[in-house]
Amino acid sequence: MYEMYLLYFLGFIFFFIMFKISTKLFKFLILLSAGFMFLILTNGCSSGNMNPTTSIQDAEDNTLTRISDMPFVMDTELNIEESLILGEGKSWSGQLLLFVPASKAEVFNFYVRNLDNFGWKEQTTIRGETSILNYVGENNRVAIISIKEARFSNSSVLISVSPYGEEFDDKVGDYINEKYLEITE
């Protein structure tokens, strides 16, 4: 008979311990669920774009379409973080860092063949480890294009466009306009 009471007593202790453990486990699961719900709700309420890849791509596309006096090789990618553009159309200035899926020689030839169609006149071109093209254009601007070989037969292109200074314009501006740009005032 004592055995029966002993079994009841041991059963009671077992259920008591299990209930204590399960209560702690139950409380832990409730806190974990509440924290997870709070995280989901706060993220759901945030404003802004949660997909930065799309917004960067949109910014790159928008930047290149704002420039109307510079040709770009097909599938050119703009490094938006390393670029700066002020203005748009045919009066922009700044620097564009581009990744072009073509060899350095192909990119060099592309710009030599196409820049004059966009109102730029060649001043100097240098082929080397870093090839450099210097052009003058409308609105008293200078373009310097540096082309370097990148990995896997691709190229890195830095296009710098800026207005040339008043002193330069005073000394040779009329000569450049008449001789190279055929602009008369």
One-letter amino acid for residue 167 of the chain: E
* CATH hierarchy code of domain 52-181: 3.30.310
Question: What local confidence, expressed as pLDDT, does residue 95 receive?
Answer: 94
Domain ranges of the chain: 1-47, 52-181
Task: Name the nearest CA neighbour of 134 among 178, 179, 104, 164.
Answer: 164
pLDDT digits (tens, 9 = 90+) for 86-121: 888 888 889 999 999 999 999 999 999 999 998 899
185/144: higher pLDDT: 144
User: Cα–Cα distance between 148 and 142 in angstroms, integer?
Assistant: 20
pLDDT digits (tens, 9 = 90+) for 124-149: 999 999 999 999 988 788 999 999 99
